[in-house]
Amino acid sequence: MNIYSYTFRRLLYVIPVVLGVSLIIFVLFNLVAGDPTAILLGKHASASQMAELRHELGLDRPWLAQYFDVVRSAFTFDFGRSWSTKQEIFEMIKAGAIPSLTLSFPAFFLSTVLAIIVSLFVSFYRGGVVDRLVVFVCVALMSISSLAYILFGQWFLAYYLGLFEISGYESGFPYFIPYVLLPIIIWMVLSVGPDVRFYRTVVLDEIYQDYVRTARSKGLSERVILFKHVLKNAMIPIITYVLIKIPFLILGALLLESFFSIPGLGSITLNAINGSDFPVIKAMTILSSIAYILFSVFTDVMYCLVDPRVRLK
């Protein structure tokens, strides 16, 4: 089977998966979560006020019709209007996508490249002082709360030293750059610990394989073995780890966007959660689920491109 036929078949599998995800989302938000009118109006609302709001929001329609709306929105991206702002949700998502991407993608790309480079470096000097020191630093970075990094960065680096903007955002290139520099640095500090530990483990697993011993017996240098053979064979777990994380970049960084007042999708989602704005929460959940499914398909396709031993069936 060629790659195009395989990709087409995998994309067809997306349809029933999206239907199942839509059903789970519908059950969670419409059945398990209870009556949202009680949350929106408060505990002192009368029964007539709740009934009126329920009719206004379309919550008094049959369950099947409401579920069809969720399915339709998953395939058409027409999510209706926000309960809080009365704006079109898709327009809110479009407005918040660019600020989120200006933060999340540079931070994700830089942290991934840095983690892979550091992992290869410590794997080259495995078992030595450098390797142990880097592992210790990674564990130490992972042990500190993300709030501590954010507050320290805002107070010491931005307010006390004046090196960065404390908060805010300005649209357009290059005006947004000063506002995202500090959040990007904090993102990288938060990511480098777990990423380095994962990539280091993957590389070390390959180093102790039989083909590496064979390469050493042929007289190949450790540097050639590491960068030409080990890294190539370690690409499948690395690709899996990287690509599966990309869909979650859609939501941006909830805490970073909130603390630094960046009007991205993370801020929109957090405000929707605080305001019990169920349509916005459902929209972001559906988008994240679809992105995860599509990138899972893309990950499977990438396997056969980086490793000829993988066969598409």
Residue among 309, 244, 302, 301 nearest 5 (CA): 301
Q: Which pLDDT score, from 0 to 100, does residue 49 have?
A: 79
Poorest-confidence range of 152-166, 210-224, 269-283, 295-309? 295-309
Q: Which pLDDT score, from 0 to 100, does residue 251 have?
A: 62
Q: What percent of the chain has pLDDT over 70?
A: 94
27: which DSSP letter?
I
Residue 252 has pLDDT above 60, yes or no: no
Q: Which pLDDT score, from 0 to 100, does residue 114 have?
A: 93
Token couple for 293: 């499914």
- The arithmetic mean of pLDDT across residues 150-170, rounded, is 91
Residue 247 has pLDDT above 70, yes or no: yes
Residue 186 has pLDDT above 90, yes or no: yes
Residue 249 has pLDDT above 80, yes or no: no
What is the CATH superfamily name and number for domain 96-276? MetI-like (1.10.3720.10)
User: What's the predicted TM-score (pTM) here?
Assistant: 0.83
- The arithmetic mean of pLDDT across residues 35-60, rounded, is 76
Residue among 301, 297, 312 nearest 17 (CA): 297
Q: Which pLDDT score, from 0 to 100, does residue 152 have?
A: 92
Per the omega criterion (within 30 degrees of 0), is the bond before 237 cis?
A: no
Question: What tens digit of pLDDT does each residue of 123-153 get?
Answer: 888 888 888 999 999 999 888 888 899 999 9
1 band by pLDDT with thresholds 50, 70 and 90 = low
- The arithmetic mean of pLDDT across residues 232-239, rounded, is 84
Residue among 296, 286, 297, 279 nearest 75 (CA): 286
Buried residues in 250-274 as b, exposed as e (16+ CB within 10 A):
bbbbbbbbbbbebbbbbbbbbbbee
CA 164 distance to own-chain centroid: 25
CATH 1.10.3720.10 domain locations along the chain: 96-276
Buried residues in 210-242 as b, exposed as e (16+ CB within 10 A):
eebeebeeeeeeeeebbeebbbebbbbbbbbbb
- The arithmetic mean of pLDDT across residues 294-305, rounded, is 79
List Cβ<8 Å contacts ≥24 apart for 127-132: none
> Rounded to the nearest 10 degrees, what angle do helices 89-124 and 235-245 cross at?
150
CA 12 distance to own-chain centroid: 24
More reliable by pLDDT, 151 or 254? 151
Residue 205 identity: D
Integer Cα distance of 268 and 280 in angstroms? 8
Integer Cα distance of 200 and 135 in angstroms? 9
Q: Which pLDDT score, from 0 to 100, does residue 288 have?
A: 84
